[in-house]
Amino acid sequence: MQGVRKQRAAETEAALKAAAVEVFAEHGYLNTKITDITAAAGRAAGSFYNHFASKEDLLEALLTDLLAETDAVVAADAEHDPDFRNRAAVRYHVASFFAFFRAHHTVLVALQQAALVDQRFAARVAELNSADLGHLAEHVDHVRADGHEPPGPARAVAMAIAKLLWGFGFSQVVDGDTGLSDEAAVELITDLIHRGVAGRLS
Amino acid sequence: MQGVRKQRAAETEAALKAAAVEVFAEHGYLNTKITDITAAAGRAAGSFYNHFASKEDLLEALLTDLLAETDAVVAADAEHDPDFRNRAAVRYHVASFFAFFRAHHTVLVALQQAALVDQRFAARVAELNSADLGHLAEHVDHVRADGHEPPGPARAVAMAIAKLLWGFGFSQVVDGDTGLSDEAAVELITDLIHRGVAGRLS
DNA sequence: TGTACATCAGTGAACGCGCGTTCACTGATGTAC
DNA sequence: TGTACATCAGTGAACGCGCGTTCACTGATGTAC
């Protein structure tokens, strides 16, 4: 029976991660001390360093977990409708984003905060965003194909959409001050993007 | 001649503020040490406390300056077109915002960063945003008046617009990674909001 | 199966670095007479 | 106008707090024979 030790260690590591997420959600990543995490996990301060080299390292681990989960979801996403002239295609993206954001907002916000202070995370976040931007830009380009004219260069429009999603997602999920249900929020943002990108004035 | 002392003190205070803005722009508010500011201003560390109680206090002072400048501008703003069905009315707001953001982005971003870590600034920022939101919401309500239907409750739509402006403003001015001139950025965001709020699908 | 030793996860007091903040000091400016 | 004293802005070394990080220790688990 050589598994008990490893299992105990794995439990402690999981407890530290879970505690970190809790504490990040409550006080924010930047305000969180290592001892806040260990205290919330019910472990001694020194225990932390058996598992993580630093708070940054823990956040990297949380990010790795997040990406692992996400990859599976993204795979299922392959054959969605690319045409943003169809409201349903826009809605699909908006709804996916909100679901993703609601599931992972604590880590996502922690990453944003880390990026403010730490070069490495800034690069990491930029890189992650860049992939999504490329994807969104393709959708925007689709609109142009057939007479419709999106309001600007595809990548710039994609950036605007991304900022809108992140910003409103933050209000909806973290601040909770939009006064809308998640469903209503999805409809609102879908309309805004759909009309904004593919719409005309009547 | 009792003015020389006061003048010297005022110069030092101004130098500290100017140095702070420089250093904030370069390393971010959160990464900036008091001694970074005094060094950039060419003063001794202790001199700082003749003028400000803390880094937060200095940021408050910068905010006060900003608001003083802004009030004058806002006054001239009184008789603008409230009807967001007119593209020009939207454009006016977008252009104003971009000009404001470009002029003050360092302090604005510093405030956002301070808000992450400091309750007091979080409240301050929320309060400042709230006024603008009310204003934007009125414009959105105007759209509803005449057959057009904005994509959701006025205040929620206003929040979405605000997030879009801030988010894209940040990309445009701070990151500088939109690939657009300020003029083109204004046109893009104007179209997006105009179509999104008052537009229909053709 | 039993015993002796090795390894490991966890502990928490102590250490030390970084940085905010203080304070005795300087030299210049202002005031009193 | 001159002199003596007071006040003030600025200086920078030193102090001390907070917190990340270490490390000797403990008790339990694993291994060797």
Q: Check if A163 contacts B (Cβ < 8 Å).
A: yes
Question: Is B156 close to A179, i.e. CB distance below 8 A?
Answer: yes
| Side-chain half-sphere exposure of B37, counting CA atoms within 13 A | 30
What percentage of chain B reaches a pLDDT higher than 90? 85
Chain A residue at shortest CA distance from B133: A178
Q: What is the mean pLDDT of residues B108-129?
A: 96
Q: A201 to chain B: which residues are within 8 Å by CB?
A: 87, 194-195, 198-200
Per-residue pLDDT for A201 more than 80? no
What angle (nearest 5°) sits at the alpha carbon of residue A158, between those of residues A154 and A161?
140
Most confident of A145-159, B23-37, B65-79: B23-37
Please answer whether residues B43 and B12 qualify as being in contact, where contact means their C-beta atoms are separated by less than 8 angstroms: yes
Q: How far apart are CA A30 and CA A33, in angstroms?
A: 8
Q: What is the mean pLDDT of residues B148-154?
A: 91
Among partner residues B31, B171, B180, which is closest to A117 by beta-carbon distance? B31
Give, in Å, how far the C1' of D29 lies from the CA of A65: 29
Q: Check if B185 contacts A (Cβ < 8 Å).
A: yes
Q: pLDDT band at B155, cuts 50/70/90?
A: very high
Cross-strand bridge partners of residue A200: B200
Radius of gyration of the CA atoms of chain B, in A: 20
CA dihedral B128, B129, B134, B136 (to 10 degrees): 130
Summary mean pLDDT of chain B: 94
> Which amino acid residue lies closest to nucleotide C28, measuring CA to C1'?
B5
Per-residue pLDDT for B19 more than 90? yes
Give, in Å, how far the C1' of D17 lies from the CA of B44: 22
Question: Is A189 close to B31, i.e. CB distance below 8 A?
Answer: no
Per-residue pLDDT for B77 more than 80? no
| pTM confidence score | 0.94
Give, in Å, how far the C1' of D21 lies from the CA of A29: 19
- pLDDT recorded at residue A146: 66
- pLDDT recorded at residue A114: 98
- pLDDT recorded at residue B74: 75
Q: What is the mean pLDDT of residues B75-83?
A: 79
Give, in Å, how far the C1' of D26 lies from the CA of A3: 21
B190: nearest Cα among B94, B49, B65: B94
Q: Which residue has the higher pLDDT, B82 or A29?
A: A29
- pLDDT recorded at residue A200: 67
CB-proximal positions of chain C, under 7 Å: 8-14, 19-24, 29-31
Summary mean pLDDT of chain A: 94
Q: Check if A164 contacts B (Cβ < 8 Å).
A: yes
A197: nearest Cα among A143, A117, A153, A118: A143
